[in-house]
Structure 1
Amino acid sequence: MNHIIDAHIHLDHYSDNELTRLFNHDLSTLKGLLSVSFNLASNKRNLELARAYSPFIKCAFGYHPEQPLPSDSEMADLLDWMSKHRTDMTAIGEVGLPYYMRQQNPGLCRDRYVELLEEYIKLAVKWNKPIVLHAVYDDAQIVCALLEKHNAGRAHFHWFKGDSLTTERMARNGYYVSVTPDVLYESEIQELTKDYPIDQLMTETDGPWPFQGPFAGQLTHPLMIHQSIAKIAKIQQLELELVYKTIYQNTVRFYGF
């Protein structure tokens, strides 16, 4: 049987009814989910889900960058909570830099976000945790420099998009990239998938984020990953069974499923 793991999903963003629908499938091929967090309330909800479905669900704690910065007191509360629950979390994330917010607001200063991300990277090293990164295009170069500065090698760039030089740098440093179901219809993701080392690839849905193409109008579900893997095998011109096995083992190795 070809097993899959969803390496990046926001389970806490699904409604209770949607979670029921999500788990009301034949999940025999799905061996785990990594649910990433958005803020302190999100961290707490993901911990509840991870405890309820242990060890099937693992969680990552952090503060998503595509939102206003937390106040100093909010940040202190978040870091204190994360420290108290660091043995409950598999990774730090989702953290990174606010690329899409800056497209909407070009005057937004990135400096404080960079400082906050560096704090998370230092914690990942201190606590020996992988880090889940939201860093695309020119932001990825800044993030690579921070990871190199702190010798943080266990980095996962989710749904990455960027230039070839940055992609080569990431691959050379041993960083992992995860591919979403839009690999079926987005040429930019297909190009990344063609060039990135197969032993540093994972698969994700980023659910409940909706997809287009063959998935238009559907509730995003981890089982979509089966179609992603079939497309990856075709793009890399590899045997399907090999791609299933390699991506599954990559994710088990990186996150400890």
Structure 2
Amino acid sequence: MARQRTTGLPAWVFVPALLGVVVVVLPLAGIVSRVDWGQFWPLVTSESSRQALLLSLRTSSVSTALCLLLGVPMAVVLARSQGRWLGVLRSLVLLPLVLPPVVGGLALLYTFGRRGLVGESLEAWGVDIAYTTIAVVLAQTFVSLPFLVVSLEGALRTAGRRYEVVASTLGASPTTVLRRITVPMVLPGLLSGAVLAFARALGEFGATVTFAGSKEGVTRTLPTEIYLQRVEDPDAAVALALVLVVVAIVVIGVARPGRGSL
């Protein structure tokens, strides 16, 4: 029998695991190696950079709130209901996870654009969504919502229903059970899902630029600013990319301070 480490894992497992770490970390080291540290602060504090970062933070926060408002009921329905239709519903909810972001942006544009399925009626009322800040929020919500739903549904299934059943037998209403038992029981999974949704919204590019465009101060988020600066000012693009990496690391650290539920 092959000797095993104290973790109980075979020694050979650590070799591909280490290679996987290298695949992830090495490109990040490549970004750090290209940063012009002498100009780093002026580059990341320029007017366009600050506007893009603040817009990304604002829209990501709003989209995360929308994900919570819509995603929590969706996850509860998927985890606590039964029926053949659930498989179809789950596939539709998770579709943005596998769709290219540009396709999601086109879908939003053909739905809420001026000549879109819904947008044409909205325009008659004087409401324009495409190429506005609202479009940024919708695009970010579209791609982020499945992350919260998947995280929370998994937490709900792991927690089981025994406490909910006991509360129901004691006379608690379904709303009371949901508010006093279900949500507090899966709160770590809910928080982790919300943080992941925020991180995904913060890094969203394809759907946003397709549906919202790139108007400075209105729809130009940090990922879009990085893409544009890649051609005009590569040093600025690298500096802003590092800022986005640092923010993402902080967000992941908040989501998993220890052995989290993810």
**Greater helix content:** 2
Give the TM interval when normalised to the shorter protein.
under 0.3
Higher relative contact order (CA 8 A, sep 6+): 2
Q: TM-score, normalised by structure 2?
A: 0.22
